[in-house]
Amino acid sequence: MAMVRTPLMFGRLPLGGRRLLFALALTGICLAFAFPVLWLILTSLRPESGVYYVHRGTEFTLASFAEVLQDDRLLQAFFNSALISTLATIFSLLVTVSSGYMLSRFRGPAAQTWFGTIYVFRCVPYISWVLPLYFVAQSWGIYDTYIGLLLPHIAVHICFFSWLMKGFFDGIDPSMEHAALIDGCTRWGAFIRVALPSAIPAISALAVLCWLFTWNEFLFALILTGNKVPVITVVMAQFVTEMGLRWNLMAATAVMALVPAFLLALFGQKYVIRGLRI
């Protein structure tokens, strides 16, 4: 891959000073971005009497993790969250890649209408439809089921991802597909065999982000699940009670939930940077 060196502002400084400044700036930025999460990790390691005054005292313990892990719902919740996130990612991408392709390759009223539709529904605030969604899920008998949690999680990504996918395909030269069509390839063939492979980097980038979104999603999970399909965010939310917050347990669960997200981001980031072009 070709790296473009963009000339930077401090190009005139001597090399050593430039390096030092650069390293300092980067360290500062990294610290600023990681700090809230580092602080969360530190919080989770403090005894319950020290989870608010994190900086006061040096006792550390794994007791909160041990307490959280006693709940057998937690493992189930991790499994469910991973399953729902993975399936939601796969299906969201499947349905939006074709929708984005359509938006990118066709002009005219049909494409305009579809783009208008996804734009309009992107603008509707969640607040206005989560409660009706609960009624819908109940009356269709999919409340507190995998399907009932999965399908809305796919639906919620349709507008955003179709839009991004359109951008991805806009960046891919359509002449190859035209050539394939002339060679007797079907439209489906041109889409799947010619255009799709070029979009794979973009799709893998989106996959990483979609998975992270679903993994960390609260509102739908809270509204659409009861006790049969516990997911990790709902388990976390249940540490909030009328009597107050069990912050140590919440922090420990959140830190555990961080691990898969971190691994995915670590191994997925090169795909993200490579692919996220619109």
Partner 1 sequence: MSIRRRTLAAVAAAAGLLIAGGANAQAVKELRIGYQPSPIQDNSIAMFETWGAKNGIKIVKVPNSYGVYVEKMTASLTSNSDQYDIIWHNDDWGQLWAHLLEPTDDIPGLQFASKWSMDKTVFGNAQGQNTVVPMGQTFSVFFYRNDLVQPNEVPKTLADVVNTSKKLQAANKAKWGYVGAMSMNNSWFSWFWSMWGNNCDVLMPFYERDNAKLAAAGWKSGLAEPCMKETTEYWWDAINTHKISPRGMPAYDRNEANAIFMSGDAAFTVADSLWWGTFNDPAKSKVVGKVSAARFPLGPNRQKNFAWDDIWGWAIPKSISPERKALAKQMLAAMMVDEEGQMKLWKATGAPPPNTQFWPKIAAQDPFMALLKEAVLDSPDKVRGAYYFPQWPAVHKAFNDAVTKAVTGKREDIGKVLAEGQPLVTKAATP
Partner 2 sequence: MFGEQQRFMLFLIAPAALLLGLFQVVPIVIGANASFRDWALYNPKKTWVGLDHYKAVITDPAFLEVVLPNTFIFMILSVAGALALGLGLALLLNRPFRGQKIVQTVLMVPLMVAPVIAAIMMRWMFNDQFGIVNAVLEGLGLEGQPWLVERWSAFGIIVLTDVWLWTPWFTLLLLAGLQSLPKEPFEAAAIDGTSAWRVFSHLTLPMLQPVIVVCVVIRAIDAFRTFDIVWTLTGGGPGRSTELFSLYAYVLAFLNLDLGRGSAAAIVGGLIILVVGIGLYRLVDRVTKT
177-236: contacts with partner 2 (CB under 8 A)? 187-188, 191, 205, 209, 212, 216-219, 233, 236
Name 185's Cβ contacts closer than 8 Å, sequence gap at least 6.
193, 194
- Beta-strand (E) ranges in the chain? 240-241, 244-245
Does residue 243 interact with partner 2 by CB under 8 A? Answer: no
Does residue 39 interact with partner 1 by CB under 8 A? Answer: no
Of 60-68, 72-80, 82-90, 93-101: span binding partner 2 (CB under 8 A):
93-101
DSSP 115-139: HHHHHHHHHS-THHHHHHHHHHHHH
Cβ 223 to partner 1, closest distance in Å?
Answer: 6
Q: Which residue from 112, 278, 110 is spatially nearest to 206, judged by alpha carbons?
A: 278
Q: Which of 125, 184, 244, 266 binds partner 1 (CB under 8 A)?
A: 244
Residue list 139-178, contact with partner 2 (CB under 8 A): 151-152, 154-156, 158-160, 162-164, 167, 170-171
Q: Which does 74 bind (CB under 5 to 8 A by kind): partner 2, partner 1, none?
A: none
Q: Which of 47, 116, 171, 197 binds partner 1 (CB under 8 A)?
A: 47
Of 6-14, 57-65, 70-78, 192-200: span binding partner 2 (CB under 8 A):
6-14
DSSP 9-45: GGGGS-HHHHHHHHHHHHHHHHHHHHHHHHHHHHHHH
Phi first, then psi: give them for residue 253, nearest 5 degrees: -65, -40
The Cα 3–Cα 133 span in angstroms is: 46
The Cα 97–Cα 94 span in angstroms is: 6
Cα distances (Å, whole numbers) of residue 145 to 16, 94, 137, 170: 60, 22, 9, 38
Q: Two tokens at 44?
A: 């989770």
Nearer to partner 1 by C-beta: 144 or 170? Answer: 144
Cβ 30 to partner 2, closest distance in Å?
Answer: 4
Q: Which of 223, 264, 265, 276 binds partner 1 (CB under 8 A)?
A: 223
Residue list 126-185, contact with partner 1 (CB under 8 A): 131, 134-135, 138-139, 143
Q: Which residue from 259, 261, 237, 210 is spatially nearest to 73, judged by alpha carbons?
A: 237
Q: Which of 14, 16, 55, 242 binds partner 2 (CB under 8 A)?
A: 55
Phi first, then psi: give them for residue 245, nearest 5 degrees: -100, 135
Q: Which does 138 bind (CB under 5 to 8 A by kind): partner 2, partner 1, none?
A: partner 1
Cβ 154 to partner 2, closest distance in Å?
Answer: 6
Q: Which of 22, 52, 79, 126 binds partner 1 (CB under 8 A)?
A: 52
Query: With contact defined as beta carbons under 8 Å apart, do 150 and 87 qualify?
Result: yes
The number of helices, as runs of H, and strands, as runs of E, in the chain is: 12, 2
Residue list 14-33, contact with partner 2 (CB under 8 A): 22, 25-26, 29-30, 33
Does residue 27 interact with partner 1 by CB under 8 A? Answer: no
User: For binding to partner 1 (CB under 8 A), which residues are involved?
Assistant: 47-49, 52-53, 56, 63, 131, 134-135, 138-139, 143, 222-223, 226-227, 234, 237-238, 240-245, 247
